[in-house]
Amino acid sequence: MSVGLVVVSHSERAAEGIVEIAAEMAGETRIEAVGGDGQGGIGTVPADIEDALAAAAGEAAGDADGDGDETNGVDGVVVLVDLGSAVMNAEVAIELSDVDAVVADAPVLEGAVNAAVAATDPSATLESVREQAEAAADISKV
């Protein structure tokens, strides 16, 4: 089993940049960036986050591993969020989605990097990846 990641930011470019950094450490982990108001502006949209959850869970890829379901070995998704309404919209998206997902209470960039590393562990679970993402809150920089 494996864990997917979604990075949600008010800025689509910020989300993509964070994914770019985290992907360096992510190995085979599915990691999706989502952000923006859908019209080129700053914001987040629950429906877009729902799509990202499905993509991170491998649903959009169909049954790629040929085991008869469309989860492709992903048993859950850890969601990293930036500020304010991104948190609320991620929670709404999770509530509406079929994907088993949790929001990590973590700084978005450091949390994404930590989560990416944790997700490469073959015994990674939704909880272990979330825990590692949240441990990023304690990172001291100077």
Interface with other proteins (CB under 8 A): 37-38, 43, 45-47, 84-85, 88-89, 91-92, 95-96
Q: Which of 10, 82, 108, 126 is catalytic?
A: 10
Contact 76, 100 (CB under 8 A): yes
Q: How far is the CB of 90 from other proteins (least distance, A)?
A: 9
Q: Which is nearer to other proteins, 61 or 87 (CB)?
A: 87
Q: Which is nearer to other proteins, 61 or 92 (CB)?
A: 92
Q: Which is nearer to other proteins, 14 or 117 (CB)?
A: 14
Q: How far is the CB of 112 from other proteins (least distance, A)?
A: 22
Q: How far apart are CA 63 and CA 96, in angstroms?
A: 22
